[in-house]
Amino acid sequence: MIMKTKNPILAVVTALCLISANPCHALPIDHQSATQAPTLSIPQDTILKTAYPKTQTEAMAYMEPENLDDYFKALPAHQLEQNVLGFIHPTIQFNNIQGEARYLVIVEKVNIYDGYIQSCRACSSTADLLLYTIKDGQFVLLNSARNQDSIPAGNGHLRHDFTEQLKKNMQAFGKNMMGSYVKASFTGAGGQEESLWYAVLLPDTGKLQALAIGSAGGSTESFFADRPHLASSTSSSLKVIHNDADYYPVEVTYIDNINTKTKPVKSRFTYQPKNSEYVETKLK
């Protein structure tokens, strides 16, 4: 088994975004029934034809991975490159700033070698983010970001609750842009825990991307279990500050969980388009 040792915590400050011009394809819409109301799900063939046309024209010998865990068994897979499988997550539907329906598809990409998916505790996958709209009754690929690696991942795949957090926290992230945020925690071999905030920016046009915002806290209580006087523990909450900026700032409030009488501290994270990153300013 091939082991990938890249640690997602060390990689989190880098957000890679490759946006390409996307052709429009008139393709059918699948209507998928739900318990409360009908929802739209983008057909797999539509995703492949609009975002991965090579999979339709270049035959590849598909190699069924061995020993798939329950996480991957629940997702349909397609071979996107010779040694890359794409696992398609359920469509996330939301409205843009103008109230128009948008559809986000996350295609999780993992490498395979000799029939095995790379797997280890610190292994992570990458993701393609595909944003669709509907024109003349057909799904059309509107915007995309490829090979995003600044996403919460470990044990060879995305966090189990990644898409659920995205849906729950979907809101305006700029005066003309929707987005969402997620929180993820990682535990080191010695028991140290580090938490991070991530953002996913979803403009109709321009740079769609996933990136780290900043620290969400952490704990060394397990690491210093035999010396509790040395331990620290910090948690946080996040708020998007709605103003008239193209990119809304994010405010994070940190709380000391051990010294509870300590006054909470705040940081404001402002997005810098030039470097495609959030920059922290500590507030007094």
pLDDT tens-digit readout, 7-64: 333 333 333 222 333 333 334 444 333 333 456 899 999 999 999 988 766 656 555 6
Lowest mean pLDDT among 37-41, 105-109, 172-176, 216-220: 37-41
Decide: 43 and 165 in contact? Cβ < 8 Å: no
Q: Which pairs from 245-248 meet CB under 8 Å and 24+ separation? A: 245/174, 245/175, 246/174, 246/175, 246/176, 246/177, 246/273, 247/173, 247/174, 247/177, 247/201, 247/271, 247/273, 248/172, 248/173, 248/174, 248/175
- Span 198-209, average pLDDT: 97
DSSP 98-153: TS-EEEEEEEEEEEEETTEE---TT---EEEEEEEEEETTEEEEEEEEEEE--S-E
- Span 201-217, average pLDDT: 97
- Span 64-80, average pLDDT: 81
Nearest to 141 by CA among 99, 91, 81: 91
What per-residue confidence (pLDDT) applies to 142?
A: 98
Give me the phi and psi of 89, to 5 degrees please.
Answer: -80, 160
- Span 68-85, average pLDDT: 86
Nearest to 167 by CA among 128, 202, 143: 202
pLDDT at 159 over 60: yes
Cβ atoms < 10 Å from Cβ of 57: 6
Q: What is the pLDDT of residues 240-251, one digit of tens each?
A: 999 999 999 999
Q: Model confidence at 149, in pLDDT bands (50, 70, 90)?
A: very high
What per-residue confidence (pLDDT) applies to 272?
A: 97
Lowest mean pLDDT among 30-34, 36-40, 76-80, 114-118: 30-34
Mean pLDDT of the chain: 83
Q: What is the pLDDT of residues 229-282, one digit of tens each?
A: 999 999 999 999 999 999 999 999 999 999 989 999 999 999 999 999 999 999
Percentage above 90 pLDDT, the chain: 58
Kind of pairing, strands 84-88 and 92-95? unpaired
pLDDT at 115 over 80: no
Give the side-chain half-sphere CA count within 13 A for 97: 15
Lowest mean pLDDT among 45-49, 113-117, 201-205: 113-117
pLDDT at 68 over 50: yes
What per-residue confidence (pLDDT) applies to 88?
A: 95
Q: Model confidence at 119, in pLDDT bands (50, 70, 90)?
A: low
What per-residue confidence (pLDDT) applies to 243?
A: 96
Give me the phi and psi of 14, to 5 degrees please.
Answer: -105, 125
